[in-house]
Structure 1
């Protein structure tokens, strides 16, 4: 089997099974694990999959730029935003992440809601300017342009001085084995700090993020209290999280 044919076969296996196990595949094809790993490494460099220990998982479409991400799961995100907004109680202090799904969340907040939102996303802060009763705390730092959020030491210091009731986390990827992950090392650290500083972490998971992986793990799934997903998601995709004791909200 030529290299190009082998890589195409790997992608077909990934699409069919949702994962590649290098050892199993090497035995099936009669090739060394090193050959399979080299192919996976090259496919990962092309952005066609995400390497994980022992094999590979699908790469998340959420690694695309902000403008492109606005077009992905455009119908699902407003529903997820509405369900998440309904979780906020009057008087609470809430962390809201950056991202296109979080933007839908703040657009769904009731005009009568009185609460405090702390965010490292300029887009979220600007969206809340017209809300009559939401106090906004801006967390500053170095602007990570891909996600339009602040990262770095200044952001981490500010987060450490706040204790929130809820944190609505946007992720690039969610997988029962690989956990919650994103595409940037510093952004992963900020999300982890936000989760550590909140009593409850709620993951906003539009359909394209499920069963995918990104390069940098944010936190173990044991740190997640709730996951909000679209009603059209197959039960098989969310059943592993239910077994972990994570509350699933269908939007």
Structure 2
């Protein structure tokens, strides 16, 4: 795999275990948005395909690969007293303090990649500010040469804008970069940009869904060194 010089990571479901990070946050947020009214909280959860008692998202939830705008559009009809801008701000604010559950210890893994000469980036459909806050909480922001969110001006996955922006910022060619993600949105974005799409199984999607679109399917990002033939 000597031709791979850059590693571009999705965030949720890739760097972070999706359900462990976001399931409980969403369940608590639905209760908060509903002012503690159980029926209203269940209605909101249904709109984003969240199993509140289990504190887990259903595999078809819009929030798995969607943007903050997607979440607002899904929830707003159940919250007519809120404005679009007000709900958007509330969602962003609530994500800034969420404790991320890593898929595998990140600092030593990213240090290993950097020591091997790889250029690293994060491309997420979350807001850039939320991504940076979560990476800051784990003291790994400095490991990444480029961090882009759906609100950074390069669009959202599955469009290739974020991937192409990483290349423009780092000088790498698309075929020199592996796009690593847990959803078809990530894989489609990488393919459209001309990158090597790599799937991981730390999100809700399984191998049967991901394998047709990936050069490899790995249990988690901790298996990347072996795939890259790192010593």
Band the TM-score falls in, shorter-chain normalisation: 0.3 to 0.5
- TM norm structure 2: 0.37
Larger RCO of the pair (alpha carbons < 8 Å, separation 6+):
2
Which structure would you say has the larger Rg? 1
Which has the larger helix fraction?
2
Which has the larger strand fraction?
1
- TM norm structure 1: 0.35
